[in-house]
Structure 1
């Protein structure tokens, strides 16, 4: 018997994804086996194949889902002033990253483990997100409210800076999320010469 008695697909499937996300983030994709994922969920290893063809497909699904949810959650308002849009992006990205640290970690650290086709799919989604910020910066430069030489490079640097908060921020630490977001907004504003 592959599935534990009493398990249900609509419950077990999400548990498989959650366990894989957590294990990949903690130990690295290469170090995690399908048996470890199955054990974390409480099913036999063979049961996992009812939810995913293999470990590579599972990783790709997790990274694609993360990017699709990130893109769906981002709400640009192109008619607003570019500086307002930039502040909204900075606060959104920081908050989203803090709310999804495992997903963010996988998105950056495990991209290298994707097959070329899966890598291309995730890279295209990432590019759409990076393009959203690049467009804001281009609008700000064109309007004269931002002084930047290379909007694309600036976008990449800002995303890296904002994402980095997941490496050090701890709830209950010296600064709460609001204070961190306010400080980071000041850093972003300074980086674009606004």
Structure 2
């Protein structure tokens, strides 16, 4: 199907994603219709299908983009030396990256239940890659005698949950700035694995 004359795909496509992200985060994926998204964007409902196959594809694409961006940004960090410095860097990075994207984070974690099996498998594989990066740090730290943790997988999941939780309460202009919050969370992460000081 051809786009209408005057259509601006470079504007409309990103606008659809932005509106869908806001609506999914506010009301939940299941409660939002394609018609609602179209109305907010200011196009006919049928026009959405020029940019996405369906609502399921839109959700999966949003999650994929978030997680691929997260992995790319993590890989771009300069590698610090010892496990303690690596964990501090990971915690600061995680908090800073997620604070800037609360809606995308909410969708990536809370809407997994709405993905069809094939989409779920692909998104879970990306999430596991990110978790594996943290677990590698924890394994290295435990092997070096720097971290005191009985189970690296459990510690990984606990730390991810703690660090991601910042998006539930952080607001710009609050009592603590981003840099302070990143530093405090990094310190808590180190203490959680027995590597404070």
TM-score by length of structure 1 reads 0.95
Q: Which residue of 1 aligns with 2:54?
A: 54
- The alpha-carbon deviation at position 182 of structure 1 amounts to 1.6
Question: What are the equivalent positions in structure 2 for 1:79-158 lying under 5 Å apart?
Answer: 80-158=81-159
- The alpha-carbon deviation at position 136 of structure 1 amounts to 0.3
Q: Distance in 2 between matches of 1:3 and 1:78?
A: 46
SS at structure 2 position matched to 1:88? helix
Q: Is the 8 A contact 2:71 2:130 kept in 1?
A: yes
- The alpha-carbon deviation at position 4 of structure 1 amounts to 7.3
Provide runs of 4+ in structure 1 moved above 6 Å. Answer: 2-5
Q: Is the 8 A contact 1:137 1:146 kept in 2?
A: yes
Q: Do the aligned partners of residues 4 and 169 (structure 1) sit closer, same or farther apart at CA in structure 2, a change above 3 Å counting?
A: farther
| Root-mean-square deviation (Å) | 1.6
Q: Which residue of 2 aligns with 1:193?
A: 194
Q: Is the 8 A contact 2:95 2:163 kept in 1?
A: yes
TM-score by length of structure 2 reads 0.93
Q: Does 1:41 align with 2:45?
A: no
Runs of 5+ in structure 2 lacking a partner?
none
- The alpha-carbon deviation at position 77 of structure 1 amounts to 5.4
Q: Deviations over 1:86-130 (max 9, x none)?
A: 011000000011011111000111010000100000000000000
Q: Which residue of 2 aligns with 1:66?
A: 66
- The alpha-carbon deviation at position 186 of structure 1 amounts to 1.5
Q: Deviations over 1:154-174 (max 9, x none)?
A: 011001000000111111111
Q: Do the aligned partners of residues 160 and 16 (structure 1) sit closer, same or farther apart at CA in structure 2, a change above 3 Å counting?
A: same
Runs of 5+ in structure 1 lacking a partner?
none
Q: Does 1:21 align with 2:9?
A: no
Q: Do the aligned partners of residues 34 and 6 (structure 1) sit closer, same or farther apart at CA in structure 2, a change above 3 Å counting?
A: same
